């Protein structure tokens, strides 16, 4: 028999022979090699390194299970498990397979960085899948053939590829980041490709995203809902590893049952010893679901998670929730839910207090924010103290069109006045931000340009997630004056989160009850006039701010955002201001904290803010 015919018969025998009794874990332990390009620990695969993967993978090779769901973030081996599944079916049970990822570019990256290297470094796969560079191999980056089957990688944004061929093994990665198409849901389209196979397998994996909009969360909630549990090193009671029970100082976790604090190494020793278990809330359900966070990962240290959380927490306090969302999604494997708003203005109305003077004790610097409308200027003066505790001083309206000089003169009367403490000492406005949007941009530039030495700046708000409150300074205008661009969504998030603070202190908002100060029900309706809602944009679910007030009046919210931005531009030394104020003998027109500056000094202020 010729060598050519022998190879042909061997290939036919492999195709028609029944699959072995190996589970996916047993196959990976026997044959899989990890590549240096994609693994922190290259070399022979060892399932005992991350024992939780065994239950995940073997559920796929269970003949009684048709669909498996992985709701998991990063650093837990979710992708590694999918690679093992692919390798198993190439070698042990050849079938037509499809891997669906959010975009074709992601598919190409997976093929080059993970699939191709796995095939190269795992001998049993190398001899079955021809190199795509070889002549007449029939293989490409996104399609690879092997005896008895093939694997095709497609993007969710390519519906034609999803409907192109029948498949038995469907793998879906990062479902929550799938892009919308005009031809239907990508997961549904892919599922239809498996309809003709009685022994089909569907494996859906993803990092969760936004609560109420996460597809993987929905699938997991309808599954058996398996959670990875480890026994307490002290009392041996099984329990999930829970971030809420992590003790930061000692880098330990408190037992849910006995209350004993055990360090990370003791918990993970239990895992290495093979004592961990998947406990399913609904074991009778046909769809098997698996969920775990990075606390059990052998590749993630608890101290690293604590440090990441503290950094994200600091950003959240500044009104930047993006890092906290990443932490919650990718390390805790949980959906993100933003609670940063108050929907009932009466809660704030009832919280007003009586000041003992125009300026309460604690105020160290004043800002003014001005919103430009077609028939009026709306303004707010806010006092700021240590750790950005704030006091609303006056909210008012100056009626008159912005092209009328008298309107701006009346604003000057407010801006230049001295606001007094109970002891007679006083402050004037340290910085003013004036909105340049709308129909009177030239008038705003003219007003601000003539008062630059008093720290009066034109500003423009820009929406969009991830933009810092003070983005940059532009001089791209005919007056060549500084225009400060603000990321208003970040500011709105900060304001809404701070309104939830109940006790005076850092970041707390005080409001006066005196009628002449302007903090009435109309003001508070405007302050809580916007909500964060979820919208689809470029195939992603994103949070955006929308005005939900019946009268669409949101000036109070905008003004408070501008005031906070003015404070951030100043970057005041509150300790130094407090010392100066104590040394000032009343009566006094203003303190050194609010004295006028030259136009050159104003430019230097902007430069020091690293925005120029």
Question: Based on C-alpha coordinates, what's the Rg of the chain?
Answer: 31
Judge whether 95 and 152 are in contact, CB under 8 Å: no
Average pLDDT across the chain, whole number: 86
The pLDDT tens digits for 432-483 are: 999 998 888 999 999 999 999 999 999 999 887 778 898 888 887 788 888 9
Residue 566 has pLDDT above 90, yes or no: yes
> In sequence order, which ranges of 475-520 are alpha helices (DSSP H)?
488-499
- pLDDT of residue 588 exceeding 50, the answer is no
What CATH architecture applies to the domain 345-608? 2-Layer Sandwich (3.30)
- CB burial of 3-16 (b: ≥16 within 10 Å; e: otherwise) equals eeeeeeeeeeeeee
158 — pLDDT class (breaks 50, 70, 90): confident
E-assigned strands of 388-493?
390-399, 419-420, 426-427, 431-435, 456-462, 470-474, 483-487
* Domain ranges for the chain: 3-225+283-300, 227-280, 301-337, 345-608
Which of 264-278, 478-492, 575-589 is least confident?
575-589
User: What pLDDT does residue 607 have?
Assistant: 55
Name the more confident of 17 and 418.
418
The pLDDT of residue 493 is 86
**Cβ atoms 169, 98 nearer than 8 A:** yes
Tell me what the mean pLDDT of segment 290-300 comes to. 95
Mean per-residue pLDDT, 415-424 = 92
Q: What is the pLDDT of residue 592?
A: 38
pLDDT in tens, 482-524: 899 999 988 998 898 888 888 899 999 999 999 999 999 889 9
| pLDDT value at residue 318 | 67
pLDDT band at 597; cut points 50, 70, 90: very low
* Domain boundaries 3-225+283-300, corresponding CATH code: 3.40.50.300
Other CB atoms within 10 Å distance of the CB of residue 249: 6
Whether the per-residue pLDDT at 589 is higher than 50: the answer is no
135-139, 377-381, 454-458: least confidently modelled range = 135-139
Q: Is the pLDDT of residue 19 over 60?
A: no
Q: Give just the sign of the alpha carbon dihedral 352, 355, 361, 365.
A: positive
DSSP letter for each residue of 109-148 = HHIIIIIHHHHHH-HHHHTTS--TTSTT----SSEEEETT
Helix axes 52-61 and 24-31, enclosed angle (nearest 10): 120
592-596, Cβ contacts within 8 angstroms, sequence gap of 24 or more: 593/364, 593/365, 593/427, 593/430, 594/365, 594/366, 594/427, 594/428, 594/429, 594/430, 596/453, 596/454
User: Would you state the pLDDT for residue 608?
Assistant: 52
Closest CA to 211 of 203, 221, 201, 202: 221
Residues 6+ apart with CB under 8 A from 262: 232, 233, 234, 252, 253, 255
Would 3-225+283-300 and 345-608 be classified into the same CATH topology? no
């Amino acid at each position: 028999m010729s060598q050519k015919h022998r190879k042909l018969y061997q290939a036919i025998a492999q195709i028609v022979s029944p699959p072995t009794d190996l589970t996916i874990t047993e196959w990976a332990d026997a044959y899989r090699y990890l590549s240096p390009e994609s693994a922190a620990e290259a070399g022979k695969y060892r399932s005992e390194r991350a024992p939780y993967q065994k239950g995940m993978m073997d559920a796929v090779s269970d003949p009684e299970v048709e669909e498996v769901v992985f709701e998991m973030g990063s650093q837990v081996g979710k992708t590694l498990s999918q690679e093992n599944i692919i390798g198993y079916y190439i070698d042990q049970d050849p079938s037509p397979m499809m891997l669906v990822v959010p975009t074709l570019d992601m598919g190409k990256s997976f093929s080059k960085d993970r699939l191709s290297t796995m095939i190269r470094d795992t001998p049993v796969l190398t001899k079955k899948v021809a190199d795509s560079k070889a002549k007449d191999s029939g293989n490409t980056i996104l399609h690879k053939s092997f005896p008895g089957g093939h694997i095709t990688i497609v993007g969710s944004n390519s519906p034609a590829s999803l409907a192109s061929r029948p498949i038995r093994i469907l793998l879906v990665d990062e479902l929550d980041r799938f892009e919308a198409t005009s031809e239907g849901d990508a997961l549904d389209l892919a599922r239809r490709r498996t309809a003709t196979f009685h022994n089909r397998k569907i494996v859906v994996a993803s990092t969760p995203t936004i609560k109420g909009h996460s597809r993987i969360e929905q699938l997991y909630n309808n599954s058996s809902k398996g959670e990875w549990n480890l026994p307490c090193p002290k009392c041996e009671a099984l329990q999930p590893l829970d971030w809420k029970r992590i003790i930061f100082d000692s880098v330990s976790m408190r037992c849910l049952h006995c209350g004993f604090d055990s360090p990370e190494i003791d918990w993970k020793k239990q895992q290495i010893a093979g004592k961990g278990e998947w406990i399913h809330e609904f074991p009778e359900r046909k769809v098997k679901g698996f969920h775990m966070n990075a606390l059990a990962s052998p590749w993630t240290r608890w101290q690293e998670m604590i440090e990441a959380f503290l950094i994200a927490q600091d950003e959240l306090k500044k009104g930047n929730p993006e890092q906290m969302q990443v932490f919650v999604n990718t390390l805790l494997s949980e959906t993100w839910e933003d609670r940063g708003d108050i929907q009932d203005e009466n809660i704030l109305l009832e919280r007003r207090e009586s000041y003992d003077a125009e300026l309460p004790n604690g105020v160290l610097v004043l800002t003014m924010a001005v919103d430009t409308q077609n028939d009026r200027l709306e303004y707010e003066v806010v006092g700021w103290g240590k750790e950005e505790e704030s006091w609303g001083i006056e909210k008012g309206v100056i009626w008159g069109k912005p092209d009328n000089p008298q309107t701006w003169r009346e604003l000057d009367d407010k801006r230049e006045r001295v606001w007094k403490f109970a002891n007679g000492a006083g402050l004037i406005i340290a910085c003013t931000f004036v909105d340049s949007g709308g129909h009177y941009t030239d008038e705003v530039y003219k007003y601000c340009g003539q008062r630059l030495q008093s720290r009066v700046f034109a500003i423009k708000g820009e929406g969009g997630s991830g933009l810092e409150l003070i983005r940059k300074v532009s001089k791209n205008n005919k007056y060549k004056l500084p225009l400060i661009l603000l990321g208003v969504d970040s500011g709105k998030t900060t304001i809404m989160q701070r309104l939830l603070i109940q006790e005076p202190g850092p970041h707390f908002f005080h409001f006066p009850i005196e009628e002449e100060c302007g903090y009435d029900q109309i003001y508070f309706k405007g302050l809580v006039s916007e909500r964060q809602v979820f919208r689809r944009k470029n195939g992603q679910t994103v949070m955006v701010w929308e005005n939900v007030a019946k009268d669409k009046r949101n000036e109070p919210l905008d003004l408070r955002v501008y005031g906070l931005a003015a404070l951030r531009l100043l970057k005041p030394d509150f300790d130094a201001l407090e010392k100066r104020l104590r040394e000032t003998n009343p009566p006094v027109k203003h303190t050194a904290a609010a004295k006028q500056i030259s136009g050159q000094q104003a430019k230097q202020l902007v430069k020091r803010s690293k925005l120029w």
